[in-house]
Amino acid sequence: MSISFSHTYTELPDRFYSAQAPSQVPAPELLQLNEELCDELGIDLDWIRSEQGLGMLSGNELPESAHPISQAYAGHQFGNFVPQLGDGRAILLGEIDGKDLQLKGAGRTPYSRGGDGKSALGPVLREYLVSEAMYALGVPTTRALAAVATGEAVHRQEGPVPGGIFTRVAASHIRVGTFQYFLVREDQEALQELTQYAIKRHYPDAESIIDFFKAVVSRQATLIAQWMSLGFIHGVMNTDNCSISGETIDFGPCAFMDEFDPKKVFSSIDRNSRYSWENQARIAHWNLTRLAECLLPLLAETPQDAIPLVEEALEAFAPQFEDKYLLCFREKLGLRTASESFINQTLSLLADHRLDFTLFFRNLTRVAMGEDSDFFAGHEKWLSEWKSYGPADASLMQSKNPIIIPRNHRIEEAITAAYNGDFSYFHRLVKAFKTPFQEQAEFADLETPPREHEKVRETFCGT
């Protein structure tokens, strides 16, 4: 039974997108299929594993109901505005169960800007691993449906490498940059249509445009707090990577920190630490301000009348973020009454002593469970203060402090092995990341941080 797509996005005017068929690939091979997500979406497993299913996942043979497009958008990239970006290597096949199904690395589009539109296999495996790990950790995120090897080489700085296609499922692919695309063109009609479409699709309870904006602000505040409580650094929080739905989107130069450093960045081109761990809330607010600018023409006759409306909504970001951030860390500490000062003191301890973020809270959970841990040797004063708050909620800590995270050195090892034809390590990580809060003896080796020579200090986007 083939997939039956719907297409609400193509009901918008054709200046929102370009029709674009995927490129053909010579020898597609299905490397990983997310069977649980297939079940959620009502996709028949026998069909998706068939020759026709592989044809869709590789872009070689699409179902009749698919209407492939690439979406137009703009964006601020590291603070610099680019009026036309768009899907340079991604093709949206349609919607299933209300969600977008998109092929990444499926070939050149009108927005490729001289690129080949392809993806190396490494970024495909990375996005599969990190997005599904993020989902298992309970954070709103785009999902991985499949990873496919294309059987062709793509040429990058390091030379020819195996190609791949990633099938991404998202609530939608509407970004702050989508709104910016029409603002810079002074296309108020398109802005109005896009806003009403986003409200209908993602925020049906919003009774007005300002209600819609407040809801987007709230979701972003919650999302960033969740990232930071896991030591996650997105790496490229450009406005074109800021999803209106509130999902984490695009997993290029991202990482879950090992040694805690609030100023840590992972993008090779983030030389000014714009997207460091500690800056993520500030940048989210900056991105939301750019969205507010796009909505001003729709809110009132003049900017003077519209600005107070968005300012009020933007002012709500900081307290909402702060509330969620403090809640997340109180849960990690198992202390519902922990003060903000104590949380800051805790993070300063981690930073000053270069402690592993995940292992710190993992070992603290063990202490709360009554186990011994020498992890806190030399930090007895802090531990005594933690205990002074009263008995910690060990079960809560177990549900909030992961045992296994997708550490970058493990992902790099899996990619290196895959480039040498061995996908067993990748498959092992897929399995391990599904249950990050559970004790898993067979994956105990994945809990350990990298040794000095294993550390990954920068990651790169997939283009």
Angstrom distance (rounded) from CA 373 to CA 364: 8
Angstrom distance (rounded) from CA 198 to CA 242: 14
User: How many Cα atoms are found within 13 Å in the side-chain-facing hemisphere of 239?
Assistant: 28
Burial class (CB in 10 A: 0-12, 13-18, 19+), 195: buried
8 A C-beta contact, residue 6 and residue 93:
no
Where would I find the beta strands (DSSP E) of 157-257? 159-170, 232-233, 255-256
Q: Find where tokens 């349609």 sit.
A: 94
Contacts of 233 (CB under 8 A, 6+ apart): 227, 254, 255, 256, 257, 264, 265, 266, 275, 276, 277, 280
240 flagged as catalytic: yes
Reference 245, options 199, 291, 282, 207; nearest CA is 199
Q: Which of 87, 100, 240, 250 is catalytic?
A: 240
Q: Find where tokens 């104590």 sit.
A: 342
- Classify residue 269 as left (phi > 0), alpha (psi -120 to 50) or beta: alpha
Angstrom distance (rounded) from CA 45 to CA 357: 39
Exposure letters 294-331 (e unless 16+ CB within 10 A, then b): bbbbbbeeeeeebeebbeebbeebeebbeebbbebbbb
State the Cα angle at 381 between 375 and 384, rounded to 5°.
85
Question: Known catalytic residues?
Answer: 240
